[in-house]
Amino acid sequence: MEHNETTICVWKNIAKAIVQGVAIGAFAGIAFAAGFLYRDRTLTTPTAQTSFALIQEADELLANHFLYDLPEDSVRVHGAAQGLAASLNDPYTFFIEPRAAEIDSTNLAGKFGGIGAEIAQDEQGQLVITRVYRDSPAEQAGVQANDIIMAVDDMAVDEAAPNMDETLAAIRGEIGTPVVLTLRRRDTTIDIKIIRAEILIPSTFWQLTETAPQIGYIQIVRFTERSPEEVSQAIKELRAQGAKSYILDLRNNGGGLVDSAVEVAGVFLEGGVILYERNRLAEEKVFNASRGGVAIEEPLVILVNANTASASEILAGAFQDRERATLVGQQTFGKGSVQLILALSDGSSLHVTTAEWYTPDHHRIEEEGLTPDIMIQPVEGSDAELTAAVELLSANHPAVSDNP
């Protein structure tokens, strides 16, 4: 099993690099572990009737008495919005400025216009190209790993910025449009023009386990609009390669779109309840899986850990309650509240907690999480959970361990 553990660890590292880096670097500092479960595309926000005269009064006093230059109006307004959301004392209700909101939206969509390079911020605040993807616009234009981004379309990179949102948003753009990166390569500064292309962000990675080649391994790193299609494709390819049972890895999956998680459930379940949503009026909405799943019979094991949260807990909880799969790993995060993502007039957005999720047996996820059927503590240097899953499938279904 040692060889297999090494292979899967390498695969997972590659997956992590791709997910963090496809197109233009890490996912913008917006943590999916915070639980962005639900995207609403139709709701509009009514005009508030509350008087904010006190805020205006405070702003005028600051303008009249503050010693130094005031930030721009938009900066002060965004600061007030952040404070308003923070006053609710809910970690999952918060305000996001326009640039970060744009990145958040495209990440959840699973595709966007970009250049196909991974970037990271070093200790000095420099933005470094850490990987250039094969056949990407960046590779075709001559971008190289270890290039340092000095400017984007003549806009200098602010190395003192707390995150990469501004630079990421500037690099992304409409497919077919150009972007010019000013790069420092060793002792030389060069300008490279790149034509943006559609960059697809994979959410799912799969392969056969090497020591048990009739067990398919599927890892979902987050739930995006593309996840259901990717999982169905994974089943199709793995089955063609001889897979007769599956391991679904939801470890370190912090959530994403709940509708996508429900669709993924439909791949493995023949309809039925996946979760209940309960709002502040105690009204319940039922989410059911679709019928016609392509893998409703094969044995299934789910891997979870303390970073399995939100939509991934919903999926794992449904499989556990419905006795469709065995959960292996550690107690999950316990993030079962629902957030609406509401667009504001200037491109910023509000993430607002509006309800809680419950499993098919009405188990509360928020602050409680899920208890695995088989508890496995992590072992440094090996993948103990994966080893246990392979052994479980092989023991319960001996034919699985035989080579075809």
Q: What pLDDT, in 10s, does the model give residues 194-205?
A: 999 987 777 898
What is the 3-state composition of the chain as percent helix, strand, coil, each rounded to the nearest 5? 30, 25, 45
Angle CA 119–124–130, to nearest 5: 20
**Burial status of residue 197 (CB atoms within 10 A of its CB: 0-12, 13-18, 19 or more):** middle
| pLDDT value for 201 | 72
Residues near 30 by beta carbon (within 8 Å), at least 6 away in sequence: 36, 96, 100, 103, 104, 107
| pLDDT value for 42 | 37
Average pLDDT, stretch 296-310? 97
Strands 155-156 and 326-329: unpaired
CA dihedral 105, 109, 115, 118 (to 10 degrees): 80
Residue 310 annotated to the active site:
yes
Residue with tokens 């939509």: 311
Q: Average pLDDT over the chain, rounded to whole?
A: 84
Same CATH fold, 111-200 and 2-20+202-397? no
**Burial status of residue 312 (CB atoms within 10 A of its CB: 0-12, 13-18, 19 or more):** buried
Distance of CA 34 to the CA centre of its chain: 10
Residues near 178 by beta carbon (within 8 Å), at least 6 away in sequence: 193, 194, 195, 196
Average pLDDT, stretch 95-107? 74
Q: Please count the other Cβ atoms lying within 10 Å of the Cβ belonging to residue 21.
A: 22
Residue 346 annotated to the active site:
no
Q: Tens digits of per-residue pLDDT, 18-34?
A: 222 333 333 333 333 33
Whether 267 and 324 have beta carbons less than 8 Å apart is answered as: no
Alpha-carbon distance values, 123 to 117, 120, 181 (Å): 20, 10, 21
Looking at 2.30.42.10, 3.40.640.10, 1.10.3720.10, 3.30.43.10, the CATH number of the domain 111-200 comes to 2.30.42.10
**Both tokens of residue 278?**
């309960």
Would you say residue 341 has pLDDT above 90? no
Would you say residue 7 has pLDDT above 50? no
Catalytic residue (one of 310, 312, 337, 394): 310
**Both tokens of residue 167?**
């630079």
| pLDDT value for 25 | 33
Residue with tokens 């209940």: 276
The pLDDT > 90 percentage for the chain reads 64
22-26, 208-212, 248-252, 326-330: range with lowest mean pLDDT: 22-26
Would you say residue 89 has pLDDT above 50? yes
Catalytic residue (one of 147, 227, 244, 335): 335
Would you say residue 159 has pLDDT above 90? no
**Which of 98, 94, 92, 100 is closest to 81 using CA atoms?**
94
| Cα distance between residue 344 and residue 52, in whole Å | 18
The residue count for the chain:
404
**Both tokens of residue 361?**
């047996």
152-166, 214-228, 302-316: range with lowest mean pLDDT: 152-166
> Domain residues of the chain, as ranges?
2-20+202-397, 53-91, 111-200
Q: What is the CATH number of domain 2-20+202-397?
A: 3.90.226.10
Catalytic residue (one of 147, 249, 321, 383): 321
Average pLDDT, stretch 377-392? 95
Would you say residue 38 has pLDDT above 50? no
| pLDDT value for 369 | 97
402/222: higher pLDDT = 222
Average pLDDT, stretch 158-184? 88
| Cα distance between residue 267 and residue 248, in whole Å | 12
| pLDDT value for 223 | 94
Q: Tens digits of per-residue pLDDT, 237-289?
A: 999 999 999 999 999 999 988 999 999 999 999 999 999 999 999 999 999 99
| pLDDT value for 398 | 58
Average pLDDT, stretch 34-49? 43
97-111, 372-386, 389-403: range with lowest mean pLDDT: 97-111
* DSSP designation for 197: E
pTM for the complete prediction?
0.71
Residue 187 annotated to the active site:
no
